[in-house]
Amino acid sequence: MGSLADNLEQIYRECRDPLFACALAVTRCPARAEDAVHEAFCQLFGQKKRPQNLKAYVFRTVRNAAIDQVRRNPWLGETVPELIFDPSPTPDKAAAQGEFRRQIAAALQELSPNEYEVILQHVYGGLTFRAIAEIRETPQGTIAGWYQRGLTKLREKLDG
């Protein structure tokens, strides 16, 4: 077990994309998500006490920093950024997938904030339901329920 700073650095290296996805799910803005991750790590490096589950604590701190970002500057009609989708290797594939991506982004906007956040954290951030439950301090069954309801709504919207 290394120093707190070493452990934080290791968590950042291993989890930078899921941390960004966690913040992006709340802020819906890449720049604000980056700011939230930065603010969280500045706060974490200033701590002297080591939490019992450091990784979950880091994610919770990033999520709280993202919530603070939104509280300070509420949403201004931001949409789901297209960067959450993997880039296509060729322009013709990108053009063919563009409309579908817009439909998904529009459908995601219609989800509840909890459904939206859990789907982004799980699908695009690669977090397990258990990790999301720890981050949000919410029962794992509730997380799974939000995920399932959100997917059902997305399917209905995209099929209809």
Q: Using the 8-state DSSP alphabet, how is residue 46 labeled?
A: T
Please give the pLDDT value at position 91.
62
Residue-averaged pLDDT of the chain: 84
Across the range 65-84, mean pLDDT stands at 72
- What's residue 129's pLDDT? 93
State mean pLDDT over 120-124: 84
* Stated pTM of the model: 0.65
Report the range of poorest mean pLDDT among 19-33, 65-79, 138-152: 65-79
Confidence of residue 118 (pLDDT cuts 50, 70, 90): very high
User: Nearest CA to 66 among 79, 75, 54, 56?
Assistant: 75
Q: Which of 125, 139, 134, 155 is nearest to 52 (CA)?
A: 134
Helix or strand (DSSP H, E) at 154: helix 140-159
Gyration radius of the chain's alpha carbons? 17
What pLDDT score was predicted for residue 79?
55
- pLDDT score of 77: 54
Let me know: does 82 contact 100? Beta carbons within 8 Å.
no
DSSP track, 67-130: HHHHHHS---S----GGGSPPPSSHHHHHHHHHHHHHHHHHHHTS-HHHHHHHIIIIIT---HH
Assess whether pLDDT exceeds 80 at residue 38.
yes
**One-letter amino acid of 157:** K
User: What does residue 17 show for φ and ψ, rounded to 5 degrees?
Assistant: -70, -50
Is residue 84 pLDDT above 80, yes or no? no
* In contact, 115 and 147? CB cutoff 8 Å: yes
Q: What value does the mean pLDDT take over residues 95-110?
A: 78
Give residue 50's pLDDT.
82
Set out the domains of the chain in order of their start, with CATH numbers.
1-74 (1.10.1740), 90-160 (1.10.10.10)
Is 80 exceeded by the pLDDT of residue 92? Answer: no
